[in-house]
Structure 1
Amino acid sequence: MSAGYERIRFGVEGGVATLVLDNPAKRNAFDPAMRVEMAEVVRQVQSDPAIRALVLTGAGAHFCSGGDLGNIAASGLDNGGWRRRLTSLHDWLKDLMLLDKPVIAAVDGAAYGAGFSLALAADFIIASTRARFAMSFIRVGVVPDCAAFYTLPRVVGVQRARELMLSGREVSAQEALQLGIATELVEPDALQARAQAIAHSFVGASPVALSLIKRSLALAATDLPSLLEQEANAQALAMGTPEHREAVRCFLEKRPMPFQWPQA
């Protein structure tokens, strides 16, 4: 893992980047320093073609407990200041959500408040059996942020999102799997290895196809004619890539395919 960061750890190995929220004394709570460092890393991942996937996780026994309430209380920001802070956060969070590479969140322990929202920004949530999730914003008298109004209803539906946001209740790992929030559940000691295995599997996938799938899914709530137009444009691009031609050759020659989802 690279040095030079105060609140995160970051490294790249074999085409896979790993970003670790590293403030375990506060269960990896967000503070301004962490947000600045995460923004820098997201830009680096986006701009480096050698990076093919990103694993997002937390140090210690937790993913992220949400905003650092001590820092929030001491900030002294007025309404305009809070809006500017959230707008700057949205800039890099949007970049993370629109990243043209798969993002895998490996969630252990608490994913509360903005931590839950951050996990939802990933393409896959691999959760340990002791993970727990909560839209806990209502408990401290604020509204969900970090794009939760966009992501959560798309995962669980509007009615269930309403219940989770208004109650602020905790969701167990098993319920998260049932609701579609978690992609898989694994034992805590297998969490990081499973997330890395999934991330490394994408090194063999077509980067063009991955990018086009993610861009098209971002338009999934738009009108049908626009989505069909995007589908036609994306498929035309994907069909012309060397990765597509090689995958077809492997299939026809009965050789192992370049991309295969790793068995659990």
Structure 2
Amino acid sequence: MQSRQYPLRHAMLAISEGIAEFTHQRPQARNALSLELRQDYVDMLGIVEADREVRALIITGSGGSFCAGGDLRSIRGLLDDPDPAVREAAAMRRRLTDIHGWLRRLRDLELPVIAAVDGAAAGAGFSLALAADFVLASERALFSMAFVKIGLVPDMGAMYALPRAVGMGLAKELMYTGRRMDAREAHQRGIVHALHSADTLPGAARRFATRFLDAPREAVALTKLALNGALESSYDAMLAMEGQAQGIAASTAYYRDAIGSFLRGERPRFDWDRAARDA
């Protein structure tokens, strides 16, 4: 499988051996979510969605920072713009609507999405991490709903995702105060799946992603789709979703081959525990 690199504006997308790695590459600004980086997400998702060989996506930062939030220099420029239409509430709403388009695609991507967080994940950076299926973090990672520090409300899906991740009480505390949560607390609270040193985090994230290479793509995608709506759905709706998804999964070649292997006494193609031992 050929390795490919896609240099973008403020990020790099690399695809190798079934794993896509999207790296924020503006360390001098702590990988703030610039207009260019937002467009990079749009372009990256288009590439990854179209590539059936990709089985997992890693999102990470460079230079010891994941993403420090919105680009305050760009925001300052908007505030100083002489055109009042640029500063009105409707303009901010339109900008967020544009973000919501690719953010929903990221959340619903039919692949496991792994955020490898080293250093700051603040404001929009924290929201980005919450859009992933799994968060792996370095021991020096910091998480903060920093929006309140500049007089804004949490956005980019944080008001939806954070209460579901940690409960309403802690979500209110983090959002009202903007306090920093270190990696250890984030792990204890269930935001972070696993902790690693800063040096070993990139390799650990790739090994974790690699364990999905032999997973049934359709079954994982259908499970993710169902779980993303599970907390808003009734019991009957989820039973119906299970039935529809199972019908699709049971029609795949993967399922047919897996049943044959089991009946022949062969090892399953996808075995998470075995993959962990091998890794």
Specify if TM > 0.5: yes
Tell me how far apart the structure 2 counterparts of residues 129 and 107 of structure 1 sit (CA, whole Å): 9
Partner of 2:198: 188
Tell me how far apart the structure 1 counterparts of residues 7 and 202 of structure 2 sit (CA, whole Å): 23
Q: Matches of residues 172-211 of structure 1 in structure 2 within 5 Å? A: 172-211=182-221
Q: Matches of residues 1-264 of structure 1 in structure 2 within 5 Å? A: 2-75=5-78, 76=81, 77-78=86-87, 79-221=89-231, 222-261=233-272, 262-263=275-276
8 Å contact kept, 2:7–2:13: no
Tell me how far apart the structure 2 counterparts of residues 251 and 25 of structure 1 sit (CA, whole Å): 53
Q: TM-score, normalised by structure 2?
A: 0.91
Q: What per-residue deviation string (whole Å, max 9, x for no partner) do you get for residues 127-180 of structure 1?
A: 111111011111110011110011111111111111111111111111001110
Tell me how far apart the structure 1 counterparts of residues 256 and 180 of structure 2 sit (CA, whole Å): 47
8 Å contact kept, 2:119–2:140: yes
Tell me how far apart the structure 2 counterparts of residues 127 and 241 of structure 1 sit (CA, whole Å): 35
8 Å contact kept, 1:205–1:243: no
Q: Which moved more, 1:175-184 or 1:150-159?
A: 150-159
Letter in 2 for 1:82: M
Identity %: 41
Provide structure 1 residue ranges, at least 5 long, that are not aligned to the other structure. Answer: none
Provide structure 2 residue ranges, at least 5 long, that are not aligned to the other structure. Answer: none
Q: How big is the shift at 1:102?
A: 0.7
8 Å contact kept, 2:6–2:14: no
Q: How big is the shift at 1:256?
A: 3.4
Q: Secondary structure at the residue paired with 2:36? A: helix
Tell me how far apart the structure 2 counterparts of residues 166 and 254 of structure 1 sit (CA, whole Å): 56
Give aligned pairs, total: 264
> Greater CA radius of gyration, 1 or 2?
2
Q: Secondary structure at the residue paired with 2:212? A: helix
Q: Which moved more, 1:199-208 or 1:88-97?
A: 199-208
Name the Cα RMSD after superposition: 1.4
Q: Which moved more, 1:170-179 or 1:234-243?
A: 234-243
